[in-house]
C-alpha cells in the first residue's frame, strides 16, 4: 500500500492587524454552524507542530502550520469543533456500527470502530490524539488496545494549515470576505495480516478574525480503502464513508 502523506499549500497572509487582541477561546462566546460545539479545554491544550517518526513499523508524520500565536489559536479552534453526539450515535445505531467502550465521556469524532480500527467521521484534535497515542504505544511495544495485537504496521499522517484569505467561496457557493481558512487532512492505515485498511479524512473550516466559525466542510466524507494483505491473494475494495 502507498503510505498516505499530504501537503496543503499556504496562501499569502493578510495584515497582522486582523489578528491582534483575540481573547482566549474560553472567554469567547464562539459562534458555530448549527449542530457543532467547541471543546474549549482542547483549544487550550498544547499540540505538536512538527513531529516525525518514520523508523520502524509504526510511523507517523505531523505538520501543523500557522504564522503566529493568533493563527495558532484559530487553528486550535478549527481542530476543536465537534459534531453533535446525537448525530454520531444515531448513525452508528442505524448502520449497526460498533463504536467502542470509550464513548461515554469523550467528545465524539467517530461513529465506527474501536481502537486501531476506528474510522474518523471528523478531523479533530481528539482524532489526532487517538491515532498518535496508539502509535506511540505500539512503538513502545504496548499493544493492549482494541485491535492492537497482530498488526504488522500502522501509519499516521496529519497535515493542518491555516491562512488568511481576502475572500473564500465554499463548496456550496457562499462567499466569505477577510476570513481565515483552515485545511485539515488526516490519514490512517494498518496491516493486520489479513487486510490493509486505510482511510483519508479532510475538513475545511472558515473562521473570522475573532474566532467565530462560519463554515465547516468535509465531515462525514471520509474515504476508506481496503486491500488484502501480502499474506493473501491480490484484491481490493473501496468504500466511501458517509
Q: Is 221 exposed, middle or buried (0-12, 13-18, 19+ CB in 10 A)?
A: middle
Q: The dihedral of CA 108, 31, 176, 208: what is its sign?
A: negative
Q: What is the DSSP string of 76-97?
A: HHHHTEEE-HHHHHHHHHHHT-
User: Is the model's pLDDT at 26 over the cut of 60?
Assistant: no
pLDDT, tens only, 95-129: 999 999 899 888 999 999 999 999 999 999 999 99
Long-range contacts of 166-173 (CB under 8 A, 24+ apart): 166/14, 168/206, 170/204, 170/206, 170/215, 170/217, 171/217
Rounded-to-integer distance, Cα 7 and Cα 238, Å: 23
Under the banding of pLDDT at 50, 70 and 90, the label for residue 237 is very low
Q: Give the global pTM.
A: 0.84
Closest to 198 in 3D by CA, of 239, 231, 168: 239
Above 70 in pLDDT, residue 233? no
What is the tens place of the pLDDT at every residue in 146-164? 878 889 999 999 999 999 9
Q: Which pLDDT score is estimated for 106? A: 87
Helix, strand, or coil (residue 137)? helix
Domain coordinates of the chain in residue numbers? Answer: 39-240
Q: How far apart are alpha carbons 211 and 19 in whole angstroms?
A: 10
The model's pLDDT over 194-213, given as tens digits with 9 standing for 90+, comes to: 999 999 999 999 999 999 99
Residue 27 has pLDDT above 50, yes or no: no
Amino acid at each position: 500500500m502507498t503510505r498516505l502523506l499530504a501537503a496543503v499549500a499556504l496562501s499569502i497572509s493578510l495584515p497582522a492587524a486582523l489578528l491582534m487582541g483575540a481573547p482566549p477561546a474560553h472567554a469567547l462566546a464562539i459562534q458555530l454552524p448549527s449542530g457543532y460545539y467547541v471543546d474549549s479545554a482542547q483549544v487550550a491544550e498544547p499540540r505538536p507542530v512538527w513531529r516525525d517518526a518514520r523508523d520502524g513499523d509504526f510511523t507517523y508524520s505531523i505538520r501543523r502550520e500557522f504564522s503566529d500565536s493568533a493563527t495558532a489559536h484559530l487553528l486550535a479552534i478549527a481542530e476543536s469543533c465537534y459534531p453533535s453526539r446525537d448525530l454520531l450515535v444515531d448513525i452508528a445505531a442505524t448502520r449497526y456500527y460498533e463504536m467502542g467502550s470509550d464513548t461515554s465521556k469523550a467528545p465524539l469524532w467517530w461513529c465506527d470502530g474501536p481502537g486501531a480500527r476506528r474510522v474518523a467521521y471528523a478531523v479533530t484534535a481528539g482524532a489526532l490524539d487517538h491515532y498518535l497515542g496508539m502509535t506511540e504505544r505500539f512503538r513502545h511495544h504496548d499493544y493492549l488496545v482494541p485491535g492492537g495485537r497482530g498488526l504488522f504496521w500502522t501509519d499516521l499522517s496529519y497535515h493542518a494549515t491555516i491562512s488568511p484569505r481576502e475572500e473564500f467561496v465554499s463548496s456550496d457557493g457562499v462567499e466569505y470576505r477577510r476570513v481565515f481558512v483552515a485545511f485539515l487532512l488526516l490519514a490512517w492505515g494498518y496491516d493486520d495480516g489479513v487486510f490493509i485498511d486505510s482511510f483519508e479524512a479532510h475538513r475545511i473550516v472558515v473562521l473570522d478574525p475573532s474566532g467565530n466559525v462560519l463554515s465547516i466542510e468535509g465531515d462525514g466524507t471520509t474515504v476508506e480503502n481496503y486491500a488484502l494483505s501480502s499474506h493473501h491473494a491480490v484484491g481490493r475494495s473501496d468504500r466511501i464513508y458517509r
